Amino acid sequence: MYPYFIMAKKTIPLSDSKCTGAKPQEKDYSLYDGHGLILFIRKSGSKVWRFKYKRANGKDGLMTLGNFPALSLKAARDKRRELEELIANGIDPIEHGEIQKAKLDNAYSFEVIARDWHKEYSNTGRWIEHTAERALKNFEDYVFPIIGQQSIDAVKPRDLVKVLRSIEESGYAEVLKKTRQRFSSIFAYAISRGLIEENPAYFLKDVFIKTNKSKHHPQLPLEQLPELLQKLENDKGYPITKLCTTFALHTFVRSSEFRFARWSEFDLQKGIWTIPGERELIPGQKFSNRGAKMKMDHLIPLSPQVIDILKEIHPYSGMTKNVFPKNGDPQGFISESTINKTLRRIGYDTNKDICGHGFRGMACSALVQSTLFQKEAVEKQMSHQERDQVRLAYTHQAEYLEERKAMLNWWSDYLEANRVGYISPYDFTQQLLNDDVINFKYAKLAK
């Protein structure tokens, strides 16, 4: 017996005359040109070009190309070649066609994609509600009016530079910085959806943008501490406001960290204040859910002086959850401008001399000059935390805690010492180390 082979049926390409001469039958039928091109003849007599191919999921894809003879055999073959080229490049012709149609309907404009990105990014939980709202508002104000209606694949680097220049001229350095970062993320999102191949924001990092110099919060030279302390002592303002200002000076935490403090965060027995990464949002009190800046619990050791301050505050607000309630509204919170208003009332220019945030700079400067504390411990207490997530996995909120307890005690003691006259941080340290009564508190920290 001789072996035999079953030969694959060979498709004979169509001709113009065969296409023209194809007559309708009782049922619809197809004529094949090869490589997926089909002339579909309906029983009604109409003839339609189709293209059949295998999709990435293993299923057949079927596309309608146009009617014959309006679309000739040659034109249909040209379309087939275009579709075969898409497939060779890993692009699904049906998905490509849907995207192109949506672009004509402006469904893939920059604004539409940016809003989709914003919605998905907001759902990751990386933004608090206020940040998400502000991010979208910035795009509505500065970006969408310029490039919002452009198709996402038509936006060029020069268009993005035009937007950045516009923001730069408005003088909003922080908006400029955030917008440049978000451009890159939005186009990366568009790439992940198969809408574009390259990120036009990639080269923005090399674009020179004139930005305003960073504005540093004014802080008094330490030599002027005695005068500041004396003025605070003589202040005749609302008692809880005066106590709040003193508390902020002793703890040198950020405004939102002390303004929204709850009594439940304090353990006076252990002398620890735990600022949560996020607080409970109180209805009607904007931003009241703000906690520690780095969104992680932050520990503040309480010096004896700070514990005394809290005990003085307690009669004014101990009956409420909030340590610093708004005057006349026990459920509210002290204003963000309270500290600066106090400083202005006692004679300081908060734009040039000293502002509430400047307390942090003064404390940091004194702690460094004391020569007692490690730089890492000071940074930890200032809550300048490591943003590297891998490194963060190996750190703990209580790192350097014993040294930080001594640090807060030292700062409060230093403030007390300056009530009667100026003494430098270094000289104060030497004085402490030479005092046999309190030497044990700081001697082991001396370098």
Q: Residues with catalytic annotation?
A: 254, 293, 357, 360, 384, 394
Using a 10 angstrom Cβ sphere, with 0-12 exposed, 13-18 middle and 19 or more buried, the burial of residue 393 is: exposed
Are 195 and 107 a contacting pair, CB within 8 Å? no
Sheet holding 60-68, edge to edge: 29-34, 37-41, 47-54, 60-68
Are 63 and 83 a contacting pair, CB within 8 Å? yes
- Report d(CA 354, CA 373) in Å as an integer: 25
Number of CB atoms found within 10 A of residue 397's CB: 16
Q: Report which of 423, 367, 91 is spatially closest to residue 224, judged by C-alpha positions.
A: 423
Are 407 and 252 a contacting pair, CB within 8 Å? no
DSSP characters for 196-254?
A: -SS-TTGGGGGS----PPP-PPP---GGGHHHHHHHHHH--S-HHHHHHHHHHHHH---
Tokens of 392: 């963060």
Q: Which long-range contacts (CB under 8 A, 24 or more apart) does 56-61 make?
A: 56/92, 61/92, 61/93, 61/94
Number of CB atoms found within 10 A of residue 130's CB: 12
Helix (H, G, I), strand (E, B) or coil at 17: helix
Are 367 and 429 a contacting pair, CB within 8 Å? no
Distance of alpha carbon 433 from the chain centroid: 45
* Cα angle value 110/116/120 (rounded, 5°): 140
Measured over the CA atoms of residue 215, residue 218, residue 221 and residue 222, the dihedral's sign is negative
Report the amino acid identity of residue 148. Answer: G
